[in-house]
Amino acid sequence: MKFTVLETPLAVAEQAAALLAEVLLDPSRAPSGLATGRTMVAVYGCLVSLLQKAGINNLSHWRSFNLDEYVGLGPGDKRSFAAYMDLHLGQPLAIPPTSMLLPNGLAPNPTLEAARYSQQVQSQGIGLQLLGLGENGHVGFNEPPCGATAPCRCVLLSEATRAQNAEAFGGQLLAVPERAITLGIADILAADELLLVVTGANKSAVLRRLLEEPAQEALPASWLQSHPNCLVLADRAAANF
């Protein structure tokens, strides 16, 4: 893993956006893998202004796969990741929802939906996979304990993760769905390139573990250590140890 520390969250977001733009604008690259969460709001904000300032308004070749979606939430629910993607990238860049793919949170059988999504992702592959980091070491929704070969599947979310994500649900942990569909660690490791973005003092403890401890099931993000092309971009607050 390559590890880069920049002073501010804005500097991190700008750098991540620049790396993403390069890949997204190259039609020869495989589709990008995208993530959600608060960290990515700044990244997508910078990406939108970078593309707009460059006058790039033809994104017809855009093709991306998101990591995860809550079971029970569809694009019509503003708390879904589909709605998040539409708000932060789809609307400002005029990307049709059909070009930004996610697992279908409303599928009647989430296990079958995970298998369908997995096939779809594997048939095209992922070029650059953008990742955020959960405070408990999850990536996507691969909750600990999780092995390196975990496939795309329907998972039960931990209380810690539901608490971390409660903000989008009026601060109520119980309102956060109990299940989600997530790409597995195996899918993530299959991407050509990984970009893990970590900002804020609340991520400092988990980032330190990721950099210092061996790969282990208790820390799902630690499997990224085995990827040949993984960049961790952190701000000073997260790397303050």
Residue number with CB closer to ligand GLP (37 or 90): 37
Figure out which of the listed residues 6, 24, 29, 36 binds ligand GLP, where binding follows CB under 6 A.
36
Would you count residue 165 as binding ligand GLP (CB under 6 A)? yes
Instruction: Quote the distance between the C-alpha of residue 232 and its chain's center.
Output: 13
Q: Does 109 qualify as catalytic in the annotation?
A: no
Active-site residue identified among 86, 143, 193, 235: 143
Q: Does 142 qualify as catalytic in the annotation?
A: no
Would you count residue 39 as binding ligand GLP (CB under 6 A)? yes
Residue number with CB closer to ligand GLP (22 or 167): 167
Figure out which of the listed residues 104, 129, 161, 222 binds ligand GLP, where binding follows CB under 6 A.
161
Would you count residue 141 as binding ligand GLP (CB under 6 A)? yes
Would you count residue 132 as binding ligand GLP (CB under 6 A)? yes
Q: Does 167 qualify as catalytic in the annotation?
A: no
Figure out which of the listed residues 140, 144, 184, 220 binds ligand GLP, where binding follows CB under 6 A.
140
Smallest distance, Å, CB 27 to ligand GLP? Answer: 26
Give the span between the Cα atoms of 54 and 195, in whole angstroms.
23
Would you count residue 105 as binding ligand GLP (CB under 6 A)? no
Would you count residue 61 as binding ligand GLP (CB under 6 A)? no
Active-site residue identified among 136, 187, 227, 235: 136
Active site residues: 68, 136, 138, 143
